[in-house]
Structure 1
Amino acid sequence: MRAPGFWHEKPGLLATALSPLGALYARGTARRLAGGDRARVGVPVICVGNLNAGGTGKTPTAIAVAQRLTARGIVAHAVTRGYGGSADGPLLVEERTHSAGVTGDEALLLAAFLPTWVSKDRVAGAKAAVAHGAEALILDDGFQNPGLAHDLSLVVVDAWRGFGNGKVIPAGPLREPVDVGLSRADFVLSIGPQPAQERFDSQWDAKINVPRLRGELTPLPTGLPLDGLPVLAFAGIGHPEKFFQTLRSLGADLHAAHALADHQPLSDALMTRLLREAKMRGAQVVTTEKDAVRLKPEFRSEVMTLPVRLELTDWEPLDAALDQLVGKRPE
């Protein structure tokens, strides 16, 4: 499902009317998080989470953290609940054999970079990872999950959308109030280009009392130059327009842009329709990495993937925190 438009507007009548339900949701989250001691599994746990429902850039952030740990000689495993997949776990994701229907798309994408475990029970998943040699764990999502103790917590936010109207579900996009959630965070990472960062600063910077990181998702080169290329794009991510705007910024001639629901299954009927439309328009079909892992093999050769990687304006604060947690990068 797509987020309601009023979640990202100045609070109006509907958001105000739903605020009492939002207060109940927030109290439920607080009660869940207050329940007992969190488990420790003998290795550092780095949580990459958010306050918003929906996509904010958590998975590219988890990949970037994994790469910083690998550079330090640390064997990191990811643990995720496998949203959209059927597996309860703990299950070690096999990129070549598992499907998104089993593990969820985010787990498949992570598995291309580091050993990844799907587990509805985060503690069980963490213990399985440690038993298989993990020296550090990256918890993809799970900031509001009370199972595991976190040694380092990054709250990721889309710089353009920020924290929406500042209200809790269903009145707004938040899983808990901003001040409550950030009281448990070590960093806030806002992701977006400079204009989006400036917008975020104007709306939210004064309300953030933890260290701030700024980053942007940078496209990697593809086998086919995008400049001037006729393109039909589709994306089933939290904010599809970000992907479409990236294609425009790279010079793609965007003939059509189809915004799908986050994690939407890519059925045979849907893909046949998109490929037929692209052929009629003389356009190349392009999608995101997260969408591409949901494609059936018979469609993959006809769809171009645009990979992106997270780049921070300044890595030093995060690197220093990782050094303190797991040791310094080898010289």
Structure 2
Amino acid sequence: MRAPAFWAGGGGVMPLLLAPFSALYAQATARRMARPGWQAPVPVICCGNATAGGAGKTTVALDIGRRLADRGVAAHFLLRGYGGTTKGPLRVDPATHDSTLVGDEALLLADVRPTWVSADRAAGAKAAIEGNARAIVMDDGLQNPGLAKDLSLLIIDGGFGFGNGQIIPAGPLREPVAAAAARCQAAVLIGEDETGALAQLPPGMRVLRAKLAAGPEAAMLRGQPVFAFCGIANPRKFFATLQESGAVLAGREAFGDHYQYDAGEIQDLLAQADAARALLVTTKKDFVRIPAQFRSRVTVVTVTLQWEESAEIESLLDPLAQRVPIPA
């Protein structure tokens, strides 16, 4: 899926024409969120957002999962598995499952900690707990009422913010910003606030700041020509990260979010890279959606999350870690 251009702002007639449908969407979301969720016997942490599409939820979830593991907490990841066909609950096995079954984010998470895909989040949480989870980290799910959350974080992409500020389909918002923020204990701003998103948050809401940085493999690309491609919600972020790491961007191509590549498309990208005498590079999220026979010819550049003050996220995790049940 590629988001409509008017979702980013700039006016136009489409948001006005779609406003009645947005009102119905918002009402349906509010009714759904009024239902109570199942309270798990272990802490549940949700990395969510107010908009459709990526904001950095998976990156934050990965960071929190690692921090809990460093505390000795057996955290499991839980997500819907967008782009995959399974409804779950299913524990992800990267050795046998692919992105068409479980989605691309699930494969990234499963490389770090046990990961469950489940459209029914409560059923997924129960399966994870039966699998010895002592904490659950949700990638997305802020607008899913099935599972009660102990800590919810509102993830904001500083470059996109809340788009044009309208509800789906007139804009990218899943619900009003105020409604999403009211269920969160803090917001996480990734990158600079280029759109004034923080001004739309409730007064006094706690804001944690972070930025994305290229992973260690990017050091090998410094000064090297690269042809970059990706199918993520905000391709501009990936291209900018490459340039900031010192790579020379000889070409680029953006696809829709969660795009499933076929052999012909990868062959074409390889030909363009060869013509530019450049390495073909992409994200780890895209890599799992490339036909297996081409993966040895594509370089992966990962991203890491760098907190402005890591003590702030640790302070939010402290009370939850103290509540983790001790195995019998």
Equivalence for 1:137: 136
- Rounded to whole Å, the distance in 1 between the matches of 2:207 and 2:82 is 28
Equivalence for 1:277: 272
Q: What number of residue pairs does the alignment pair up?
A: 323
Q: CA deviation at 1:74?
A: 0.3
Equivalence for 1:235: 230
Q: State yes or no: 1:179 paired with 2:173.
A: no
Q: CA deviation at 1:228?
A: 2.0
Selected match of 1:213 from 200, 208, 222: 208
After TM superposition, list the pairs within 5 Å mapping 1:21-60 onto structure 2.
Answer: 21-35=21-35, 37-60=36-59
Equivalence for 2:17: 17
* CA displacement, residues 271-309 of structure 1 (integer Å, 9 cap, x when unaligned): 111112211221100001111122232111111111111
| Paired amino acid for 2:238 | F
| Paired amino acid for 1:5 | A
Equivalence for 1:126: 125
| Paired amino acid for 1:274 | L
* CA displacement, residues 158-211 of structure 1 (integer Å, 9 cap, x when unaligned): 00111111111111110000111111111111111xxx23x34x4533633321
Equivalence for 2:304: 309
* CA displacement, residues 26-73 of structure 1 (integer Å, 9 cap, x when unaligned): 1110011112x2102210100111111001001010000001111111
- Rounded to whole Å, the distance in 2 between the matches of 1:203 and 1:47 is 20
- Note closer, same or farther for the CA distance 1:139–1:270 as it changes in structure 2 (3 Å cut): same
- Rounded to whole Å, the distance in 2 between the matches of 1:150 and 1:11 is 36
CA contact (8 A) 2:7 2:172 kept: yes
Equivalence for 1:8: 8
- Rounded to whole Å, the distance in 1 between the matches of 2:308 and 2:218 is 27
Q: CA deviation at 1:11?
A: 3.7
Secondary structure at 2:155's aligned position in 1? strand
Q: CA deviation at 1:223?
A: 7.2
TM-score normalised according to structure 1 size: 0.94
Structure 1: gaps (5+ residues): none
- Rounded to whole Å, the distance in 2 between the matches of 1:83 and 1:220 is 25
* CA displacement, residues 57-112 of structure 1 (integer Å, 9 cap, x when unaligned): 01010000001111111000001111111112111111122111111000000000
Secondary structure at 1:144's aligned position in 2? coil
- Rounded to whole Å, the distance in 2 between the matches of 1:206 and 1:173 is 15
Secondary structure at 1:24's aligned position in 2? helix
Secondary structure at 2:282's aligned position in 1? strand
- Note closer, same or farther for the CA distance 1:305–1:165 as it changes in structure 2 (3 Å cut): same
CA contact (8 A) 1:93 1:116 kept: yes
Q: State yes or no: 1:298 paired with 2:259.
A: no
Q: CA deviation at 1:247?
A: 1.1
Secondary structure at 2:167's aligned position in 1? coil
- Rounded to whole Å, the distance in 1 between the matches of 2:20 and 2:142 is 23
TM-score normalised according to structure 2 size: 0.94
- Rounded to whole Å, the distance in 1 between the matches of 2:45 and 2:218 is 34
Selected match of 2:240 from 236, 245, 266: 245
CA contact (8 A) 1:72 1:327 kept: no
| Paired amino acid for 1:272 | Q
| Paired amino acid for 2:15 | A
Equivalence for 1:75: 74
| Paired amino acid for 1:95 | P
Q: Quote the RMSD (CA, aligned, Å).
A: 1.6
Secondary structure at 1:222's aligned position in 2? helix
Equivalence for 2:326: none
- Rounded to whole Å, the distance in 1 between the matches of 2:146 and 2:91 is 19
Q: CA deviation at 1:327?
A: 2.4
- Note closer, same or farther for the CA distance 1:203–1:102 as it changes in structure 2 (3 Å cut): closer
Q: State yes or no: 1:93 paired with 2:92.
A: yes
Structure 2: gaps (5+ residues): 324-328
Equivalence for 1:204: 198
Q: What fraction of aligned residue pairs are identical, expressed as a percent?
A: 46
Q: Which moved more, 1:222-231 or 1:140-149?
A: 222-231
